[in-house]
Chain A
Amino acid sequence: DGGITQSPKYLFRKEGQNVTLSCEQNLNHDAMYWYRQDPGQGLRLIYYSQIVNDFQKGDIAEGYSVSREKKESFPLTVTSAQKNPTAFYLCASSTPRLGNTEAFFGQGTRLTVV
């Protein structure tokens, strides 16, 4: 089945370590996104990519980095510069069609930094 897969579902890291979250899609979508969600809050955009080898900062990009070497993959690295990395991270993908740009989301990765 087509879809968007995030792994792992739960991730624990020690403070000061970089960690990379995986996001893969087989929907042939051009655009991919990373969001962060804190308890009881809405989603905030970290980075997004419209095409391979191109990406833009969202509203809260500081302390994060991404790459888009393949259309199917958009990994997010949470660096040690991110002051409060513990959160729920969501990846999404979409492709523009006239009148509809529905986005599909993965099931998320819950990152806990201790």
Chain B
Amino acid sequence: DAKTTQPPSMDCAEGRAANLPCNHSTISGNEYVYWYRQIHSQGPQYIIHGLKNNETNEMASLIITEDRKSSTLTLPHATLRDTAVYYCIVRPRMDSSYKLIFGSGTRLLVRP
């Protein structure tokens, strides 16, 4: 499985954009980038995923670099409820083993 590297922690002010980076330099052409987040003592929650185009949904935006070796998750107007651990994961487009492998993630603290 391709590996990802994320900073262990970040913080931002409430109402400002939170930009969370992820490096996945060994990603292969058939692998997607997924983002999940985990609020304290809860199960992880799916946020967004993409292959090579930028993606946006009601929660966040995902920008993947042209060489696909890194990506950035953006929460456009962070709230206190966005304080969580954010996980960046890569997995094959059609993964016959169905595995999701989590790293340590980035702990985002949104400050009042």
Tell me the A residues contacting B by CB distance below 8 Å. Answer: 30-31, 33, 35, 41-45, 48, 50, 56, 58, 88, 90, 92, 94, 96, 98-108, 110
Contact B98 A96 (CB under 8 A): yes
Contact A107 B42 (CB under 8 A): yes
Contact A105 B95 (CB under 8 A): no
Cross-chain pair count, CB within 8 angstroms: 67
Is B104 located at the chain interface by the 8 A CB criterion? Answer: yes
Contact A105 B45 (CB under 8 A): yes
Assuming A45-B99, A96-B98, what are 13 further A-B pairs, CB within 8 angstroms? A33-B99, A42-B102, A42-B103, A44-B102, A45-B101, A50-B96, A88-B41, A99-B51, A101-B95, A102-B34, A104-B46, A105-B44, A110-B41
A99 to B42: give the CA distance in the assembly, Å: 26
**Interface residues of B: mostly helix, strand, loop or mixed?**
loop
Interface residues on B, range: 20 to 34
* Known pairs A33-B100, A35-B102; A100 contacts B49 (CB<8 A): yes
A48 to B101: give the CA distance in the assembly, Å: 12
Is B43 located at the chain interface by the 8 A CB criterion? Answer: yes
Closest 6 interchain pairs by CB?
A105-B43, A43-B102, A31-B98, A42-B102, A42-B104, A102-B46
A100 to B42: give the CA distance in the assembly, Å: 23
Residues of A within 8 A of B104 (CB): 41-42
A104 to B46: give the CA distance in the assembly, Å: 7
Is B93 located at the chain interface by the 8 A CB criterion? Answer: yes
A101 to B96: give the CA distance in the assembly, Å: 11
Residues of A within 8 A of B99 (CB): 33, 45, 48, 58
A107 to B42: give the CA distance in the assembly, Å: 5
Give B80-97 as 1s and 0s: 1 = Cβ < 8 Å from A's Cβ atoms. Answer: 000000010001011111
Q: Which residue of B lies closest to A101 (CB)?
A: B95
A102 to B49: give the CA distance in the assembly, Å: 9
